[in-house]
Amino acid sequence: MKSRYLRMLIPGLISLFCTVFFPVQADDSVQYEFVESSRSIMRAGPDQSLAMLLQQIYPDHQALWPRLEQEIRERNPHAFNRYTGNIIPGERVQLVTIKVIRKSRVLNLSVVGNVTKVEGYATATDKSGTDRRLVDNDDLYEGDRLTTDKDSTLKIKMVDDAEILLKQDSSLRLTEYTLKSGFEPGSTSILDLIKGGLRKITGSIGANPLSIYRFQTGVMTIGVRGTDYVVKLCTENDCKQSAGRNDSDARLHVVVLDGLISLQDEEGSVGELIMGQYAIATSTTKVIVNDEVPVNGLLNSEEQEIYNKAHSSSSSDKNSIWPWILGGALFGL
């Protein structure tokens, strides 16, 4: 009998010793999520307490013990005596798995934006490969890869007040984002579209001629100066289907709702697209001008209305406002 109580007492004494002399501080730069575990206590012993289980099963997470206790109690209301709070002998106790969902300070990451609205399901993958589900008001970090599910969208605001609407079934990497004060040189905005599309309203970085602004799509690189545009990688001309930048049938569809953008291919040829204009590019052809209505699936209703107004106002000048510098045959000729 004494040996049994001694075995029960030793883990607690060891834990107390470690807590007093080697306290583990909670790192507020790391957030945790408790998810269902495949592990459980099949039959609780007559002398087992929840505090003892936490010490034995989660010895490296002392700072989380209070939260773990609450989580396990909520998930196993049948296993605890409602009056004493003790585990009922013989009851099964379902455990939880601790999942790290953010490691900003550990990875020395910089906050570069904030989630303003999630419709559906969206995730971010940081530089270490750790995924986290995004919710409203979440911070975003340099290097994050943002992904939306089908029928889901993600609105974000960057530190320079740029606004991005990541469309359904899309993926965007915040490759590099640095904001300097005023008009000092050194501000940088480099984004990589991996799949699908987005609407971007540029902020102070895009308006600063001393900054570096590149929006890379794998087909064309976009540069801007204070503008509002929509881009999407589509399966050929079907923009109801998102394509990846490495897909053989991917085409880049671009619409400018306000301002001006430049489009540059791998050979350095540059063309400009202004408000109310629409263009398409592939990995093997130069940018082309498409004077027709943008294909279905590219613009939402709000964007379509803005485009219609912009297109009608610029159509009278369409023969004189195409400063394309193209080093090859246009697509379709």
The per-residue pLDDT for range 252-280, each reduced to its tens digit, is 999 999 999 988 887 776 788 889 999 99
Q: Is residue 140 part of a domain?
A: yes
Q: Is residue 9 part of a domain?
A: no
Quote the distance between the C-alpha of residue 325 and its chain's center. 35
**Would you state the torsion angle of the CA atoms of residues 305, 308, 309, 312, taken in this order, to the nearest 10 degrees?**
-170
Do 42 and 141 reside in the same domain of the chain?
no
Do 303 and 225 reside in the same domain of the chain?
yes
Say if CB 261 and CB 229 are below 8 A apart: yes
Q: Is residue 326 part of a domain?
A: no
Do 307 and 159 reside in the same domain of the chain?
yes
Q: Is residue 85 part of a domain?
A: yes
Read out DSSP for 178-232? Answer: E--STT-TT-EEEEEEEESEEEEE--HHHH-TTSEEEEE-SS-EEEESS-EEEEE
Beta bridge partners of 176: 190
Q: Is residue 126 part of a domain?
A: yes
At residue 251, the 3 state secondary structure works out as strand
Q: Is the pLDDT of residue 3 over 60?
A: no
Of the pLDDT bands very low, low, confident and very high (cuts 50, 70, 90), residue 33 is confident
Do 28 and 159 reside in the same domain of the chain?
no
Q: Is the pLDDT of residue 326 over 50?
A: no
Do 87 and 227 reside in the same domain of the chain?
no
Of the pLDDT bands very low, low, confident and very high (cuts 50, 70, 90), residue 176 is very high
**Would you state the torsion angle of the CA atoms of residues 39, 45, 49, 51, taken in this order, to the nearest 10 degrees?**
-40
Of the pLDDT bands very low, low, confident and very high (cuts 50, 70, 90), residue 207 is confident
Q: Is the pLDDT of residue 282 over 60?
A: yes
Do 221 and 267 reside in the same domain of the chain?
yes
Q: Is the pLDDT of residue 22 over 70?
A: no
| Whole-number average pLDDT of the chain | 82
> Where do runs of H (alpha helix) occur along the chain?
2-21, 50-57, 65-75, 204-207, 301-314
Of the pLDDT bands very low, low, confident and very high (cuts 50, 70, 90), residue 208 is confident
Q: Is the pLDDT of residue 320 over 70?
A: no
Q: Which residue has the higher pLDDT, 1 or 195?
A: 195
Do 194 and 69 reside in the same domain of the chain?
no
Q: Is residue 10 part of a domain?
A: no
**pLDDT, tens digit, 9 for 90 and up, residues 99-131:** 765 555 545 678 999 999 999 999 999 888 889
Of the pLDDT bands very low, low, confident and very high (cuts 50, 70, 90), residue 32 is confident
Tell me which of 47, 71, 102 is where a domain ends. 102
Provide the angle, in degrees to the nearest 10, between the axes of the packed helices 50-57 and 65-75.
Answer: 120
Do 216 and 309 reside in the same domain of the chain?
yes
Q: How many domains does the chain have?
A: 2
pLDDT at residue number 142: 93
pLDDT at residue number 63: 87
Average pLDDT over residues 32-39: 81
Instruction: Give the C-alpha separation, 9 to 36, whole Å.
Output: 29
pLDDT at residue number 70: 92
Do 115 and 239 reside in the same domain of the chain?
yes
Average pLDDT over residues 62-74: 91
Instruction: Give the C-alpha separation, 236 to 40, whole Å.
Output: 51
Range of the domain at 165: 110-317
Say if CB 330 and CB 288 are below 8 A apart: yes
Average pLDDT over residues 215-236: 91
Of the pLDDT bands very low, low, confident and very high (cuts 50, 70, 90), residue 141 is very high
Do 84 and 126 reside in the same domain of the chain?
no
Instruction: Give the C-alpha separation, 42 to 55, whole Å.
Output: 18
Of the pLDDT bands very low, low, confident and very high (cuts 50, 70, 90), residue 215 is very high
Q: Is the pLDDT of residue 236 over 70?
A: yes
Do 98 and 133 reside in the same domain of the chain?
no
The residue type found at 24 is V
**Least confident interval from 11-25, 181-195, 214-228, 254-268:** 11-25
The CATH number assigned to the domain holding 257 equals 2.60.120.1440
Q: Is residue 1 part of a domain?
A: no
Average pLDDT over residues 162-182: 93
Q: Is residue 5 part of a domain?
A: no
Tell me which of 46, 73, 102 is where a domain ends. 102
Average pLDDT over residues 199-215: 89
Tell me which of 72, 102, 132 is where a domain ends. 102
Q: Is the pLDDT of residue 331 over 50?
A: no
**Least confident interval from 20-29, 256-265, 309-318:** 20-29
Q: Is the pLDDT of residue 165 over 60?
A: yes
What is the residue whose two structure tokens read 């209305």?
A: 305
Q: Which residue has the higher pLDDT, 118 or 284?
A: 118
Do 93 and 123 reside in the same domain of the chain?
no
Instruction: Give the C-alpha separation, 291 to 309, whole Å.
Output: 14
